[in-house]
Amino acid sequence: MDPNFKLFDTCDLDTQGLIAALNATTDAFYVSGAGLGLRIETAGCGGLTRKEPPERETTAGKRKASDEEEEEEEERLNKKMFRNQYDTDVTTWSPTGRLFQVEYAMEAVKQGSAAIGLRSRSHVVLACVNKAQSELSSHQKKIFKVDDHIGVAIAGLTADGRVLSRYMRSEAINHSFTYESPLPVGRLVVHLADKAQVCTQRSWKRPYGVGLLVGGLDESGAHLYYNCPSGNYFEYQAFAIGSRSQAAKTYLERRFESFADSSREDLIKDAILAVRETLQGETLKSSLCTVSVLGVGEPFHFLDQETIQNVIDTFEKVADEEEGEGEAEPAAPAEEGGDGTGDQDVAPMET
Amino acid sequence: MTKQHANWSPYDNNGGTCVAIAGSDYCVIAADTRMSTGYSILTRDYSKIHKLADKAVLSSSGFQADVKALQKVLKSRHLVYQHQHNKQMSCPAMAQLLSNTLYFKRFFPYYAFNVLSGLDEQGKGCVFTYDAVGSYEKVGYSAQGSGSTLIMPFLDNQLKSPSPLLLPAQDAITPLSEPEAVDLVKTVFASATERDIYTGDKLEIMILKADGIRTEVMDLRKD
């Protein structure tokens, strides 16, 4: 590499693989992290040179699971998003009809730790992985009560999530005040989506960098919605967002048809099992996840650690008894961040 | 040429009386259930007592439409408080909130005569009495509404707090036991019903203690 190079783009904040160290006086640079690649254009005296990133060490090699669906996820993660001329402003269209800033905002959601939601006819369960910045700090709050009948789980920039939760709470309170009845979830998600859309069409704003799993109960039953930074929202029987959510989604895809008629206890168990899928071999402990429930006759509340641990014990014991399955291996107690190298590069503002 | 005055008033008085007494570990809140307008009765079964938080109960007489609006505002503000602080509002906190809410409409007041009561942070009974624009005071007992002029002197006689001029400062809490306080309230309402036309029908009594709220209903004269 030309020692007099001038770096064209310092950081691609949209890709997870960032240049961890760049030494201007030497040739050396390396890319760390899972998944996404980087193409660096450097210019120096003598012209433009292009350097492809060296063979990347992905976490695929480290994973024990050889599930083909997870390899597909690898492919999806490996899809490269390169910087281009059309991605500086949210108000700039690309020639192919894309708004890159909005897509980059959706990438931010993938950086956050996993959040999972599932629903039956009468209940909605929201669960998330507790990720702490360091051993010294407490973990980020990712599930919020919006009203007795609505809860929200977030993934991505928690600050944005907190602000949106406050907005949702005030919407719910105002609706209650005016109409003396609880805000229907469907209305709330539309408000949220419209609010998100505004940020995709103002040059002085940026899209919210948070995905929201909104679970709630109204006259037509239990609902689960996903609101993304683009301003779109979809209704789901079950969904997972955040990092390694594909593993949870795979699990949920196998089981979702039974959710509608599931009992409350089965739904909770499925949620915790889905959380376990995202942990990729790390031992599942009640301290690692937060679970919340709401349903008919049951206002939104969090499950306490003991209850969660009891549920974990029921299936961990079963898994222990099944030899040769090779699925759950609660061997050595896992440490935070010991399973994915990519997590260590996550910016402090993100969950 | 005298000034023309409006023959329409935004206010009405729906009558009724509210009383509250603070005890050492309990609080008694009582109100009659008659709602009237002018010389007519609108209903004999209207509750003027409203629970705002676990440890704070509001009882208001006056213009019930304004009372209802006030209750709604306080309920919403309490929800916001709970979201922000992860706990219920204490009675003294609610007292300040009510005062601020009332003063907010200083120039078009809520026509509501309020008595807020409950248990304070130490578990002792507390009663706060208000005027229409938010001036309030922590007292040991209070009566508001159409029968207040008949009731208050009698409560003074029975429960008079030691003079605030005495030192060391003494509590306004009554030494009466809970059953005695409830009895006193029943007596006092029965008497007020005799002479105040706007008070009567039924008496609703709420007793607030650390372990929960109990409600009693007693019949009053219906004339």
Question: Among all residues of chain A, which has the CA nearest to that of B76?
Answer: A173
B83 inside 8 A of chain A by CB: yes
Is B80 close to A145, i.e. CB distance below 8 A? no
Q: Best interface-test mutation with B: which of A173, A179, A180, A183 has the largest number of B CBs within 10 A?
A: A173
Name the region of A107 (left: φ>0; alpha: ψ -120 to 50; beta: rest): alpha
Q: Flag whether pLDDT at A63 surpasses 90.
A: no
> Around Cβ B31, how many Cβ atoms within 10 Å?
28
The per-residue pLDDT for range A163-190, each reduced to its tens digit, is 999 999 999 999 999 999 999 999 999 9
Q: Do B79 and A170 touch (CB under 8 A)?
A: no
Among residues 103-162 of chain B, which lie with CB inside 8 Å of chain A? Answer: none
Across the interface, whether the CB atoms of B80 and A177 are under 8 A apart is answered no
More confidently predicted of A37 and B32: B32
Q: pTM for the whole thing?
A: 0.78
Run of H or E residues at B35: strand B35-37
Locate the domains of chain B by residue range: 17-220
Extract the runs of DSSP E, i.e. beta strands, from chain A: 6-7, 19-22, 29-31, 40-44, 47-51, 115-119, 123-129, 143-147, 150-156, 210-218, 221-227, 233-235, 238-241, 289-295, 298-302
CATH topology of domain B17-220: Glutamine Phosphoribosylpyrophosphate, subunit 1, domain 1 (3.60.20)
Q: What is the pLDDT of residues A273-299, one digit of tens each?
A: 999 999 887 888 888 899 999 999 999
Q: Which residues of B touch A145 (CB under 8 A)?
A: 83
Q: Choose among A119, A115, A114: nearest CA to A267.
A: A119
**Rounded-to-integer distance, Cα A146 and Cα A34, Å:** 34
Ordered per-residue pLDDT tens for chain B, 223 residues: 888 888 899 999 999 999 999 999 999 999 999 999 999 999 999 999 999 999 999 999 999 999 999 999 999 999 999 999 999 999 999 999 999 999 999 999 999 999 999 999 999 999 999 999 999 999 999 999 999 999 999 998 888 766 666 666 566 677 889 999 999 999 999 999 999 999 999 999 999 999 999 999 999 999 9
- Cβ pair A188, A215 in contact under 8 A: no
CB contact under 8 A, A145 and B83: yes
> Does B80 lie at the interface with A, CB-CB under 8 angstroms?
yes
Q: Which of B72, B73, B83 sits opposite A169 (nearest CB)?
A: B83
CB hemisphere CA count around A19 (13 angstroms): 16
Check residue A78 and give its pLDDT. Answer: 55
ipTM, 2 dp: 0.87
Tell me the chain A residues in contact with residue B83 when contact means C-beta distances shorter than 8 Å.
145, 166, 169
Greater pLDDT, A15 or A229: A229
Calculate the alpha carbon distances from A18 to A40, A82, A134, A187, B73 in Å: 11, 12, 20, 39, 50
Q: In 3D, which of B48, B49, B57 has the Cα closest to residue B16?
A: B48
Residues of B in contact with A176 (CB under 8 A): 76, 79
B85 Cβ under 8 Å from any chain A Cβ? no
Nearest to B208 by CA among B74, B59, B87, B17: B59
> When comparing pLDDT for A269 and A131, which is higher?
A269
The verdict on a CB contact (< 8 Å) between B76 and A176 is: yes
